Amino acid sequence: MKILLLCKYSRLGASSRLRTLQYLPYLEGKGLEVTVSSLFDDRYLNGLYNQRRRVVRIVVSLYLKRLVTLFGAFRYDLIWVEKEIFPYLPSFAERLLCLLGMRYVADYDDAIFHNYDLSGNPVIRKVLGKKIDVVMRNSACVIAGNAYLASRAKAAGARSVELVPTVVDHTRYTPRRDSTTTCPVVGWIGSPSTQKYVVGIREALVKVCQAHGARLVLVGASPQVVSEFPGVDVEVVPWSEGSEAELISRMDIGIMPLPDGPWEKGKCGYKLIQYMACAVPVIASPVGVNVDIVTGSYSGLLAGSLAEWENALSHLLASPKQRRVMGVAGRKAVENNYSLQVQAPILSRIFNDIIGQSRG
């Protein structure tokens, strides 16, 4: 059985790496032959991450390359689409696949429909506001990373919706050992584009870190962010796929602050799952799937206001025993639900069911 994977990024892109590419060894071991065709390559991503402008010429060439790939789509039993085939263009490709009787599944780990229906550009809202609804409706199945995304797919009229959370390969993450340090670490992992969420709770972080002698470690942030936390020992560490698990295992508390907005409701809580895989207790904003992850696993605390963040951080920093109990609970939740080992068979079953129905 042959599948064409139209992922958005190469392995350098987190969403593609986690939602699609990490599943390939398992799927291929189960007899599913997956051909990978990413839209944006490493050259594009490196420019994006270094905050350089998108080069129109490069984007056009990448779109043309994907168009050529689509001409051979009839050779496959199923098309696996990450989000959409052509970002910021109408859904002509997905409509054509449907009209030709070629089945595709659409996978979402972000509320990308809000790029269009909540855009500040009225032309984009008018032309593309319902694009993702059309993509969802024409798919054989929508695979959603959380309930917020699944509810949008159901409202759009998707014929089948499956909930598959964003997960980790828990064998890559080693549970942290009990720390005897007198300088505990409050940690965060992300990118320069999302470090604004940490800056949003800086008052609580500065106050608590100073009171408890804690350090702040920010993985993947820009060096300039250090100036936002006066009087605190802040370490900014570059992110890499090879080092992220080891860096997280050094943390005593992992944090995931978020504002309560429509885009944030679509996030899949991946940071939390990474922390939990290392048996690191978490503190998260009560936004979207964060609530389900934290309350369902007993892996940490929820904090909305600055006062709640201050109280939660102070409570865990003062209680190594509580941190240990929550960390163990989080690791168990990852092994039982938020792991590649648990979700890969579910994804394989979804694909086999759709291909079986098509052949039938």
**C-alpha 16: how far from chain center:** 9
Name the band, by pLDDT with cuts 50, 70 and 90, for residue 277. very high
Q: What is the pLDDT of residue 181?
A: 66
Class of domain 2-167+340-359: alpha beta
Cβ atoms of 117 and 129 within 8 Å: the answer is yes
- pLDDT reading at 51 higher than 60: no
- pLDDT reading at 55 higher than 90: no
Q: Do domains 2-167+340-359 and 170-336 have the same CATH topology?
A: yes
- Work out the end-to-end distance of the chain between its first and last CA atoms, rounded to an integer number of angstroms: 14
Q: What is the pLDDT of residue 53?
A: 59
Residue with the bigger pLDDT between 41 and 188: it is 188
Q: What is the pLDDT of residue 14?
A: 85
Least confident span in 12-21, 68-77, 225-234:
12-21
Residue with the bigger pLDDT between 337 and 360: it is 337
> Which pTM value belongs to this model?
0.91
**114-150 pLDDT, tens per residue?**
999 999 999 999 999 999 999 999 999 999 999 999 9
Q: Where exactly are the structural domains of the chain?
A: 2-167+340-359, 170-336
CATH number 3.40.50.2000 given to 170-336: yes
Name the band, by pLDDT with cuts 50, 70 and 90, for residue 319. very high
